[in-house]
Chains A and B, each alone.
Chain A
């Protein structure tokens, strides 16, 4: 029973972070842009959703507005980078820092709670189900949103605009040669990415039936780890799309994180997140693979000598 409960938590959180990871995939993999504004847009989505919901707005509308708010914040990062020519990393940090205050101002305090209000993950239909079944139906609902985001993103990347977005990260000179302004595509990508991240933020708040101002800390690091794991998986399975890999990567990452948190306690969460990120990066760079190979070779050589 305990296992199934834990499993449903992992699936719910994994799928929520899968949406963040899909957003970060756009900036990190497609645009080749290290966007740190994500740490601010994740709680932005949450706070916008929570404030609207408690003000009586229906949850689907509140979710759409959080998506739009995220898009706007991403656009700010884009404008800082593209129009004011500020370094990409710094543009993200500026937006992220500014959003801390913006989120506080919107929330009017460090916390908002709405456990009695109807949301995607708390409604009459779910209340009628047994506890465990309720958890898994919630998983299903989040999965539906993930699938919607993934399919729409896949479709967009196959359009003419999507082609140009991909080409902008791949070969900006070529986009210029096609008579298009790469600045616009960078802004579009940042905007879409942060819209997805904010949407995930609104889901996170629905999951915990509350908003807390510190929910954003570490989002970038978690999402990047999910993206890197996902792309490694997708690279090794020919038929798998990167976006599918990213969703699976998020699940794997969250499963590992949960186990580590169970063993060490939640005080260690951010430390585990950081250490896991280092491991993912080192693994991705091939450092571990080479070290393991070397070790095996040495052992083999040693064995030959004794023989």
Chain B
């Protein structure tokens, strides 16, 4: 359902620092897959998400979403079908607006934003019901500006907002990396639950090998713009963190770091 064909991506093009990251890179994701992507810095995993989301353009190649060529579509046009959660919790919601306002604005995605009331008071109860199972007490703080929340709370809110409306692909860009281990664990559990419940197709970039091993239906390891490990189904289940770490060390040593 998501295909990248013959992608070429060059950084610092035309300068002495020019470096080719992807050259004739092919990658595809099936409907309903939850792909975890690991790899060292500079391996191309975040660039892959950027190419799919559209805030980066490939030099060559095509990107297809449900068969439609989206390569030349602007980021905000693609975003109508693609949800994204960033590493920085501040990017998920508007900090000066309240929790309720943020949820309302996210819920309206895909519909026109006209002159109707931004926050429908009758929906607040529904928002409360949505926040209650998280156990973070956010349902009691509906009128608090989001910037007053902790990073973990903001990230959970960002995750909810990104998945409130129907979407084709969910991109998770190291979304637990800025959180403390316990909050990261909770956020990861919630992510897994949402992806299962909504039967989402998701790509998750992570530095946490344990998350990559435990969650998702497919595991990919990237190195210098190539996929060095791609395991789905049973072969994914057979992967152990130690094996991953061994492979990861191997490729890291190759790079010389």
Contact = CB atoms under 8 A, between A and B. Distances in A.
Contacts of B83: 177
Interface stretch (B105-113, B124-132, B244-252): B105-113
Interface string B69-92: 000001111011001101000111
A159 B76 contact: no
B119 interface: yes
Given A163-B101, A163-B104, 8 more contacts: A160-B105, A160-B118, A163-B113, A167-B97, A171-B95, A177-B84, A181-B76, A182-B76
A173 interface: yes
Given A171-B95, A174-B93, A179 B110 contact: yes
Given A158-B119, A167-B94, A177 B162 contact: yes
A173 B91 contact: yes
A246 to B, nearest CB: 16
A161 B94 contact: no
A170 B92 contact: no
A234 to B, nearest CB: 13
Interface string A127-152: 00000000000000000000000000
Contacts of B90: 171
Contacts of B101: 163
A285 B229 CA distance: 53
B117 A179 contact: no
B18 to A, nearest CB: 24
A164 interface: yes
User: Size class of B's contact patch?
Assistant: 20 to 34
A208 interface: no
Contacts of A305: none
Contact of A161 (B104, B113, B162): B113
Contacts of A173: 86, 91
Interface string A72-93: 0000000000000000000000
Contact of A176 (B76, B116, B117): B76
Contacts of A158: 117-119
B96 interface: yes
A303 to B, nearest CB: 39
Contacts of A174: 91-94
A216 interface: no
What is the interface of chain A mostly: helix, strand, loop, or mixed? helix
B253 interface: no
28 contacts: A158-B117, A158-B118, A159-B114, A159-B115, A159-B118, A160-B112, A160-B118, A163-B101, A163-B105, A163-B113, A163-B119, A166-B94, A170-B94, A170-B96, A171-B94, A173-B86, A173-B91, A174-B92, A176-B75, A176-B76, A177-B83, A178-B106, A178-B109, A179-B77, A179-B79, A179-B80, A179-B109, A180-B113
A170 B106 CA distance: 15
A89 to B, nearest CB: 23
Contacts of B106: 178
Interface of B: 74-77, 79-80, 83-84, 86, 90-97, 101, 104-106, 108-110, 112-119, 162
A242 to B, nearest CB: 10
B80 A171 contact: no
The 7 closest A-B pairs by CB, nearest first: A179-B80, A163-B118, A170-B94, A160-B113, A167-B94, A176-B76, A159-B115
Nearest to B95: A170
Contacts of A175: 76
Contacts of B116: 159-160
Contacts of A177: 79, 83-84, 162
A166 B146 CA distance: 13
Contacts of A34: none
A174 B76 CA distance: 10
A58 interface: no
A168 to B, nearest CB: 9
A162 interface: yes
A20 B96 CA distance: 23
B79 A171 contact: no
Contacts of A166: 94, 96-97
A178 B83 CA distance: 9
Contacts of B118: 158-160, 162-163
